[in-house]
Structure 1
């Protein structure tokens, strides 16, 4: 299946910093939740023996929202021609979910507390994913192909800065032993303020121009028959599987493998090293991809992440692990710098940007399901002795990264061709 080149906006109507502000808040929100707060809260509810299984199950349950909502909400956004109302409503539900989680973690214990906590997490997932699909449509809709690498790089950099801020806050919370509701309140504020910046900066009429909206609306079968989209989707799934194979268990790895007494502080430092390095490579990677294409950047980034995932298993101490985290961060930042640009370049029809970007987003959040089998595998392997569970989980993550590197070769060089013509 082939499609003619889509018309594109001649010039951006919003700055990359304003457009990326919401993603900054979202990155802070998810890092503090997934890497720091949720793992610690789960142990408080269910204890040490089953922490991996319950954490993996919670992550998988939340992923249901990420699978179902973005394509449906995106399609509805395309039909109404609006983006901002969806972001507003999603943000409100997200904030309500954070309140429920804070209530459960602060005042409740045992199974009942965990069930209320799960309900809050589902509201968070619902709200965040409800907002994401219409938001994801803004880059391909408002930014010409020749500048998408730069915009994607800024988005990747602000994502990393948001994550760094999350790691700093987590370190402060662990050091000062602050009440858990304080962390949830900080998450809510840092999510809300950047979201308001984006919503105020993006025109209310940020919809496709008439000539763009006249393009075809593809069925799902046609969409996945379009080779650029198909291979971008598959490779994004693989990179996400690698990330989610390890990310939820970083705190437990710090204690069980690196022998750190304070898992929250140790995992915050590891995350901080990853993020600081990724800020630099994210900013540079996006600009480089506008010149040489997206795929060469991903080749280097994915290989770097795979190798460091393996080396972390044999790190002789916490200092070495921190150094490896820096190397991993360089690869991760380079990948995120071209992620949005590669996805935007693969969109076949301007008439269904939000739906198709919502489906593309599923490729990143849907693999959160890997947390359930990986959590069970982690617990099973560790019961065999010698931290076998971590060897299996980190090894599988490295395999996902390398498979993504190998298969990204199949993505047609549409991005570089469009850039060269621009």
Structure 2
């Protein structure tokens, strides 16, 4: 099974979320609610997404484990996701009376439900099908295609912006770029999914989910992943506003996309080698370098004298981010305690990445409050908090044992 076929859906998901969260949602929310409340309502949508991502993956993952199948959930989830994109596009365009912020929120709920429904069973495929000795290579492919999807998402959003096409065109592009890679993964994995079902009857007994956090490798992987995600989500929803308010860009949507492109191109370069290096030297040394780089550059963004300097910092940040993503899946897969519950446990592991989206709510309110006190104070607060989270992730990842193999039988 090719790592590129297995990773294709993650490419589509990366394209999907970059365009939605970093381009469409900030601009659409500003259109619906106005300048004074933009941070608060972007934070609200972030909270809604985090709530669904917290609840859905472990439940759906457990059901997938009982059935011993992954791909049917992927198909259904992608279908619901595409319907949600259509509702969001209709709300922005005002088609057939669909206009309005709360219709937009309904579409966002469908998008979140569908994507999270697909993600937990999909996440089980690496630990289920890939031997421990090859997980760094597969994780590197995941990281590289994630970065490539984000890059193409930024380019696609930029082209639509420059051509002054309606937002509906960008929503349609997102739908296509999610659906086609999902089909590649379904076709590439199909036989393996049927040939290697995972059920409690064919492996060791399933443990209750609460026992996961008594298993030290999983506990520390979960905690450190959550800290890195908290750092990311502390600033990611507000980068477009940072370009406008701090860097004084005349076209913050366009300049934000250039900055994202710089981060992503750099992350592709480091993701190409990070996973393979981790197979030789271990996962943690890569995390140490990556997390330190992200923490330092998060602080340097606050003193960037202009857009050019910020763009250079974006490249440095991207090198760290790509190195982190290149080992992220391998580190998580190594820490799974049982083959009987791969999808459920990977769904809970995925919560460590998506639940921190809750930080967008208080961070959005903090941004608005700080900026109301002193111009741009809000950005100092949220970027500073992000640096603290990255630094804590670096410090605590030392507690993660290296190359922990699950206790059940391994795929050949």
TM-score by length of structure 1 reads 0.93
User: What corresponds to 2:154 in structure 1?
Assistant: 167
Q: Does 1:295 align with 2:284?
A: yes
Residue from 356, 361, 364 that aligns with 2:353: 364
Q: May I ask how many residue pairs the two structures share in their alignment?
A: 406
Measured after TM superposition, the shift of residue 306 of structure 1 is 0.4
For the residues of structure 2 that align with 1:365 and 1:235, how far apart are their CA atoms? 13
Q: Does 1:187 align with 2:174?
A: yes
Contact kept, 8 Å, 1:304 with 1:328, in 2: the verdict is yes
Please list the CA deviations of residues 289-310 of structure 1 after superposition, one character each: whole Å capped at 9, or x if unmatched.
Answer: 0000000000000000000000
Q: Does 1:275 align with 2:277?
A: no
For the residues of structure 1 that align with 2:105 and 2:199, how far apart are their CA atoms? 43
For the residues of structure 2 that align with 1:241 and 1:257, how far apart are their CA atoms? 22
Q: Does 1:86 align with 2:73?
A: yes
For the residues of structure 1 that align with 2:333 and 2:295, how far apart are their CA atoms? 25
Measured after TM superposition, the shift of residue 415 of structure 1 is 4.5
User: What corresponds to 1:10 in structure 2?
Assistant: none
Measured after TM superposition, the shift of residue 120 of structure 1 is 0.3
For the residues of structure 1 that align with 2:209 and 2:186, how far apart are their CA atoms? 30
In structure 2, the CA distance between the partners of 1:33 and 1:259, relative to structure 1 (3 Å rule), is same
For the residues of structure 2 that align with 1:111 and 1:192, how far apart are their CA atoms? 24
User: What corresponds to 1:340 in structure 2?
Assistant: 329
Measured after TM superposition, the shift of residue 112 of structure 1 is 6.6
Measured after TM superposition, the shift of residue 16 of structure 1 is 0.2
User: What corresponds to 2:392 in structure 1?
Assistant: 403
Measured after TM superposition, the shift of residue 208 of structure 1 is 4.0
User: What corresponds to 2:36 in structure 1?
Assistant: 49
Residue from 382, 393, 406 that aligns with 2:382: 393
For the residues of structure 2 that align with 1:71 and 1:417, how far apart are their CA atoms? 19
Measured after TM superposition, the shift of residue 106 of structure 1 is 1.2
For the residues of structure 1 that align with 2:3 and 2:401, how far apart are their CA atoms? 26
For the residues of structure 1 that align with 2:78 and 2:199, how far apart are their CA atoms? 29
Question: SS where residue 217 of structure 1 aligns?
Answer: coil
For the residues of structure 1 that align with 2:249 and 2:198, how far apart are their CA atoms? 55
User: What corresponds to 1:125 in structure 2?
Assistant: 112
Contact kept, 8 Å, 2:290 with 2:320, in 1: the verdict is yes
- Select between 219-228 and 87-96 the one with higher mean Cα deviation: 219-228
Measured after TM superposition, the shift of residue 386 of structure 1 is 2.8
For the residues of structure 2 that align with 1:79 and 1:295, how far apart are their CA atoms? 33
Residue from 88, 97, 106 that aligns with 2:84: 97
Measured after TM superposition, the shift of residue 210 of structure 1 is 7.8
Contact kept, 8 Å, 2:263 with 2:318, in 1: the verdict is yes
Residue from 336, 339, 344 that aligns with 1:355: 344
Question: SS where residue 194 of structure 2 aligns?
Answer: coil
Contact kept, 8 Å, 2:336 with 2:405, in 1: the verdict is no
Measured after TM superposition, the shift of residue 414 of structure 1 is 2.9
Q: Does 1:148 align with 2:130?
A: no
For the residues of structure 1 that align with 2:343 and 2:359, how far apart are their CA atoms? 26
User: What corresponds to 1:314 in structure 2?
Assistant: 303
In structure 2, the CA distance between the partners of 1:210 and 1:48, relative to structure 1 (3 Å rule), is closer
Gap regions ≥5 residues in structure 1: 1-13
Contact kept, 8 Å, 2:132 with 2:405, in 1: the verdict is no
Measured after TM superposition, the shift of residue 111 of structure 1 is 12
Question: SS where residue 360 of structure 1 aligns?
Answer: helix
In structure 2, the CA distance between the partners of 1:70 and 1:209, relative to structure 1 (3 Å rule), is closer
Contact kept, 8 Å, 1:291 with 1:416, in 2: the verdict is no
Gap regions ≥5 residues in structure 2: none
User: What corresponds to 1:138 in structure 2?
Assistant: 125
Over aligned residues, Cα RMSD in angstroms?
Answer: 1.9
Measured after TM superposition, the shift of residue 98 of structure 1 is 0.2
TM-score by length of structure 2 reads 0.96
For the residues of structure 2 that align with 1:213 and 1:254, how far apart are their CA atoms? 54
Measured after TM superposition, the shift of residue 220 of structure 1 is 2.1
Measured after TM superposition, the shift of residue 417 of structure 1 is 12
User: What corresponds to 2:183 in structure 1?
Assistant: 196
**Structure 1 ranges of 4+ moved more than 2 A:** 206-213, 414-418
